[in-house]
A and B are shown apart, each in its own frame.
Chain A
């Protein structure tokens, strides 16, 4: 019962804190309304609208929005490569420059290590990579840049892994729709990713239904609605501040009734440290699973995220069993190296990459292409 001592410590500390603050606190003006209370009150304020309104938007819209088919994946990927190589890429240059040097001294190795860390690769994978490179170079003494690049490319590929299954599972069994649950921390681009994803799915000839289970953030459902109406996809939404699990449930139920192919569920962004919100997410998945098994859980990670991305992935994987990663915002200057430790530790492959806010800026992840892009090859 270690816990007892932990609590005792907390209580003891708190008592000390109380003793200190009471002396001090009396002199201090009381803080305004405690935000904690407000936080609790907030979600409940707008539950006055109990009816789940499903908006039959699709019937009106398709005429207005021409459903163009998106760009072919291959050309999208080459666009990524162009962007990655065109953008200032100190990573590749630094590595190749270092490897091509006549001899590698301690300082060069340290620089190499630092360069890898700079691309958010993390210390663990960096050490692995360095060790492997050291071994390789010790064997045949690399002096030739092309060879050095090959060694580096192979090691990077090994880290990312080429053999994982990167296809999206969007078809359900027994005539039930495939359910794609999209999760992530705040502001990584979940809704935007869904918008782009539904476009791809529609273009592939699937019938799609979107569930706006982000009932927390202001206007999140509207944002999804806008994306949905662009491709003529219906969005099921609930009252703001309502129970997200019930929205997801209604959407999947509607999906089954209408016989659509895929239901994509958008969830509110949540920090992985908030136990309550993570429990809520677990509930959403459980509720959906009861109707139709969730075929794909996509975790959206922002490419600018640093080492915290691993902590995120770990917790999300624990709660909802993540099956794939979407690396978003790869069009910026960030390299998204964080996916390497994520894939390495959790074995969850990156399936999609987001390249911007445009409707077609979503591409399947291709390990070789990604590494080549990192290395500045075209």
Chain B
């Protein structure tokens, strides 16, 4: 019932597509949609009001006289504003000129401070630092033990002179830890403090005392990505009580859209520095405002997808498969290649999650949610029931072979037929598309879209947008090697265009509508 932010924004912009002029009424209607969407995503009300005002002002302003159509213009404005609020560029961690660098973690109960301490410790250690974790959470039962275990897993030393469980003075522990770090030559000290509420004056004072005792280089405010409207109150309370230099957004691997990130960044003006997205000690990354903004805008989280693909993919295999598909050299792209790639995709996680990261998929949430992973198993079973020769060259599949395969995989001949036929169709489409040339060339896009106005041609027509989206987004990253690879750097207009085109796969949606539900 509650759509996510990107769904709502996509909905809001759908009506704007195709218009050549933007009337005041259009802007107001869109603004209302954006407002509701942001509120539903837990963005704070005051922040939403500011946001809407800024977007409206810019939409009315002179900027409309551009090469972009109004719909794209609005998307671009919203995207820009999101990035601005989220903190512009990512900020790296500051280190003290004279070690040890002291990092203090503060936040509500259960926001993930202790886990983060471990992740941060491991991250720093991997970078060649020698971190020390300090157990200053003496409140919650066995928080000290938890930190010790986490430290052990991360291979980082833990300073825990007090057993915790309500006894001992955290301020004292924190003070000692600095001396300990100095004498043992640790260069980074991470102080894990007890969770506390913004309204608890006594504990806030204690946090301030710890701060004064250790004089931290960075105070990080750890906040749960799922937090609601209270995010702002809490952030303010911590900003006033202890003060903080940066925000860490935890549990970003859930499906919360992170409206709180917007609110906190906006209200406190502090950058979000890290994102914690999983239970493993390595599930931790710097926070990229531009990625977050594109995720919110339904452009998909393509960069994260790429990163994940890099981790799980056999680059050579994929390269070979792509080669086959694109040029037909070294044999044709066969079912075996398809199977291999499909399995590689599955290794990256549930299909629904991957598709969720794909650009423009926001509007198809329902279909994606309805995916039954067992269907994929069936497809796998069918392919597995073929001989290697059949897999490489599916053209040789005649009636009796198909009957055998159906029997072997426990499916119907019609299932095998439809799989094979669809595979041929898809392959042809991809090849004709690939014939158009490589990404980054705006000229390719139009023909590609027009080429396939009927049936599933549309499916792949999303690709050019994705392709431009990928390198374009990459160019936003400071150290992107995009230019080094010799691909043309997309211009600002291209970027905006890619942003505007994020809806292209809307046509894709037809694919899932009655037409394709019928037997093929």
Contacts and interface: CB of A to CB of B under 8 A. Distances in A.
A16 B251 contact: no
B324 to A, nearest CB: 10
B375 A187 contact: no
B142 A222 contact: yes
Given A20-B470, A226-B165, A220 B341 contact: no
Interface stretch (B173-181, B210-218, B277-285): B277-285
A185 B254 contact: yes
A32 interface: yes
Interface stretch (A160-168, A271-279, A369-377): A271-279
Interface string B419-435: 10010001000100000
B255 interface: yes
Interface stretch (A150-158, A202-210, A305-313): A305-313
Interface in A305-324: 305-312
B110 A6 contact: no
B290 interface: no
Interface in B230-289: 230-231, 233-234, 237, 251, 253-257, 259-260, 278-283
B79 interface: no
- Name B's interface SS: helix
Interface residues of B, number: 119
B456 A5 contact: yes
A345 B1 CA distance: 10
B42 A23 contact: no
Given A124-B1, A219-B148, A333-B233, 4 more contacts: A9-B462, A23-B485, A24-B485, A187-B110
B306 to A, nearest CB: 5
A227 B141 contact: yes
A302 B375 contact: no
Interface stretch (B21-29, B82-90, B291-299, B344-352): B344-352
B311 interface: yes
Interface residues of A, number: 89
A186 B112 contact: yes
Interface stretch (A50-58, A63-71, A112-120, A251-259): A112-120
B228 A334 contact: yes
A72 interface: no
A60 interface: no
A189 B140 CA distance: 11
A188 B279 contact: no
B202 interface: no
19 contacts: A3-B375, A5-B456, A5-B516, A7-B376, A8-B459, A10-B345, A10-B358, A12-B459, A14-B344, A15-B318, A15-B325, A35-B280, A122-B40, A123-B40, A186-B112, A218-B146, A218-B153, A271-B254, A307-B40
A333 B234 contact: yes
B109 A189 contact: yes
Interface stretch (A36-44, A129-137, A291-299): A36-44
A1 interface: yes
- Name A's interface SS: helix
A154 to B, nearest CB: 24
B321 interface: yes
The CB with the most chain A CB atoms within 10 A, among B139, B143, B233, B463, is that of B233
Interface string B319-331: 1011001100000
Given A18-B309, A22-B318, A38 B344 contact: no
B439 to A, nearest CB: 7
The CB with the most chain A CB atoms within 10 A, among B114, B341, B367, B520, is that of B341
Contacts of A105: none
Given A10-B355, A35-B280, A124-B2, A306 B456 contact: no
Contacts of A192: 140
A239 B237 CA distance: 40
A35 B40 CA distance: 33
Interface in B325-373: 325-326, 338, 341-342, 344-345, 350-351, 353-355, 358, 367-368, 371-372
B512 interface: yes
A198 interface: no
B499 interface: no
A331 B195 CA distance: 13
B403 interface: no
